[in-house]
Amino acid sequence: MLKYFTSGESHGEALVGFLSGLPAGLEVSLDFVNHELWRRQQGYGRGGRMKIERDTARVLSGVRHGKTIASPIAVLIENRDWKNWQEQLPVEHGNPELHKRVASPRPGHADLAGALKYNFPEARYVLERASARETTARVAIGALAKMLLRELGIEVLSHVVAIGGAQVSCEVAWEKIVASCGREEVLLNCADSEAEAHMKAEVDKVLRTGDSVGGVFEVVAHNVPPGLGTYVQWDERLDAQLAAAIMSLQAVKAVEIGAGVTAAYSPGSAVHDEIGYEGGSRFTRFSRAHNNAGGIEGGISNGQEVRVRGYLKPISTLRRPLQSVDLATREPVKAAYERSDVCVVPAAGVAGEAMVALTLARCALEKFGGDSMTETCRNFQGYLEQLKRF
Ligand SMILES: Cc1cc2nc3c(=O)[nH]c(=O)nc-3n(C[C@H](O)[C@H](O)[C@H](O)COP(=O)(O)O)c2cc1C
């Protein structure tokens, strides 16, 4: 069973991602992990922090001579900013006068709810862990999941569908997403350059006004075989697992599989993907008229591309702060301001890829098993032959 979790705080010494359950013998490329970390740091509308941090991964365990050895993997990413915070956030008692309090909780952040829950007099420790800096560790272990999926021919990428009021109007083909993700300079990772210009204008508007903006990313998993996930238990459904994985990302407030939202407002005849034969796909000779289901029916992948969207609320930290209350005096004050991004949709898409990759890798290992890559790939090939003979 593939298990994963993360540790680390926004201004602590480092972030660590843990991943257990990968078969032995999987080739690991640190360059690939670092490239994924770089992708998470890109995008127009990011704050100053992205300029001081160039994230790099250090593998502490589980990989030797370039391959997994079946033991749990720990990946560490240093916070380069730590040198400026050692005295403000020491592990030992330190000097309380140097602590950086977050005295007025920011609406839209975990600040107030977290302070109430953990009985903190102010929100510094809440902010430190609730911050989306944590997604760095997810992207690092997600890169390992992507490497496993690649061995099975599955690729996972994302693109931006909307920022504020600007959006792409139709389904974007896989080849266009590959081209967009391959760019060396990332603006907003939108595959349609005209829509991307409108999206940039949305970001410019909030940069001017001290506001912030949200949007929608879509993660696409290409070449997913039919048969991952199942309807037999509620928590084994692939759509349920993907929804939880994407919803777990900071600022994501809605998840859509395929054309789920418009489907709810449309008649069945316009939604369901009619079935044909002899059209052919990589896995079987069954074909589909379109892919409104986003590659999942009855909680099982159906052999079409898996498409899942994350809807992000606007960033909660505003340069023109919203109203709040001082936690010490209870007097009305403006919310605290910490250096912040104004738009993170492309980066959230990269974190979304990591979550989709981890979810698909877990489902694939549940289906194909294997303690070594030789065994996993042999089982996978056997299943592909079974599908061809169906
Ligand atoms: C990649 C990424 C980067 C983020 N950067 C910021 C940021 O710089 N400033 C901010 O206020 N919120 C940022 N957020 C969103 C907050 O982390 C999030 O809104 C907050 O922790 C509250 O959680 P919730 O929105 O899920 O309720 C970011 C989210 C993501 C996915």
Q: What is the mean pLDDT of residues 274-289?
A: 90
Q: How far does the centroid of ligand 1 lie from the alpha carbon of residue 133, in Å?
A: 8
Residue 388, H or E segment: helix 373-389
Q: What is the reported pLDDT for 52?
A: 65
The tens digit of pLDDT for each residue in 192-249 reads: 999 999 999 999 999 999 999 999 999 999 999 999 999 999 999 999 999 999 999 9
CA distance linking residue 118 with residue 129, whole number of Å? 12
Percent of the chain with pLDDT over 90: 94
Identify which of 127, 131, 203, 217 to mutate to test ligand 1's pocket (most ligand atoms within 8 A of the CB). Answer: 131
CA of 92 to the centre of ligand 1 (A): 28
pLDDT digits (tens, 9 = 90+) for 94-125: 999 999 999 999 999 999 999 999 999 999 99
Give the position, in ligand 1's atom list, of the atom nearest the Cα of 347.
1
Rounded distance from Cα 132 to ligand 1 centre (Å): 5
205 CA → ligand 1 middle, Å = 19
Q: Phi/psi class of residue 69: alpha, beta or left (left: φ > 0; alpha: ψ in -120 to 50)?
A: alpha
pTM: 0.98
Q: What is the pLDDT of residue 303?
A: 97
Q: Is the dihedral of CA 195, 196, 201, 203 positive or negative?
A: positive
Q: How would residue 278 be classed by pLDDT, with cut points 50, 70 and 90? A: confident
- Residue ranges around ligand 1 (CB below 6 Å): 47, 108-110, 130-132, 135, 249-251, 313, 315-317, 340-341, 344, 347-348, 351
User: Is the confidence at residue 256, as pLDDT, over 90?
Assistant: yes
Question: Which of 186, 312, 341, 353 has the most ligand 1 atoms within 8 A of CB, as the residue to mutate?
Answer: 341
Sign for the pseudo-dihedral over CA of 321, 323, 328, 331: positive
As a whole number, mean pLDDT of residues 8-32 equals 98
Amino acid at 353: E
Q: Give backbone dihedrals phi and psi of 213, rounded to 5 degrees, phi first.
A: -145, 150
Distance 258 CA to ligand 1 centre (A): 25
Query: Whose alpha carbon is nearest atom 9 of ligand 1?
Result: 340
Residue 252 pairs in a beta bridge with 312
Q: Which of 126, 80, 83, 77 is nearest to 103 (CA)?
A: 126
Distance 355 CA to ligand 1 centre (A): 16
Q: To test ligand 1's pocket by mutation, which of 219, 317, 344 has the most ligand atoms within 8 angstroms of CB?
A: 344
Q: Which residue is associated with the tokens 């959006």?
A: 167
Residue 351, CB-side half-sphere exposure with 13 Å CA sphere:
27
Q: Indicate the top mutation candidate among 315, 343, 345 to test ligand 1's pocket, ranked by most ligand atoms within 8 A of CB.
A: 315
Residue with tokens 């640190």: 30
The tens digit of pLDDT for each residue in 133-180 reads 999 999 999 999 999 999 999 999 999 999 999 999 889 999 999 999
Average pLDDT score, the chain:
96
pLDDT for 61: 98
Q: How far is the CA of 242 from the centre of ligand 1 (A)?
A: 20
Task: List, for residues 32-52, the tens digit of each pLDDT value.
Answer: 999 999 999 999 999 766 666
Q: 11 C-alpha vs ligand 1 centroid, how far in Å? A: 15
Helix (H) or strand (E) run with residue 383 in it: helix 373-389
Mean pLDDT across the stretch 343-360? 98
On whether the CB atoms of residues 257 and 307 are closer than 8 A, the answer is yes
What is the distance in A from the centroid of ligand 1 to the CA of 131?
A: 6
Give the nearest ligand 1 atom to 251 CA.
Answer: 25
Give the mean pLDDT of 23-30.
Answer: 98
Residue 338: predicted pLDDT = 80
CA angle 230, 231, 235 (to 5 degrees): 80
Q: What is the pLDDT of residues 84-102, one digit of tens each?
A: 999 999 999 999 999 999 9
Query: Residue 281: its pLDDT value, please?
Result: 78
How many alpha carbons fall within 13 Å on the CB side of residue 29?
Answer: 11
pLDDT of residue 50: 63
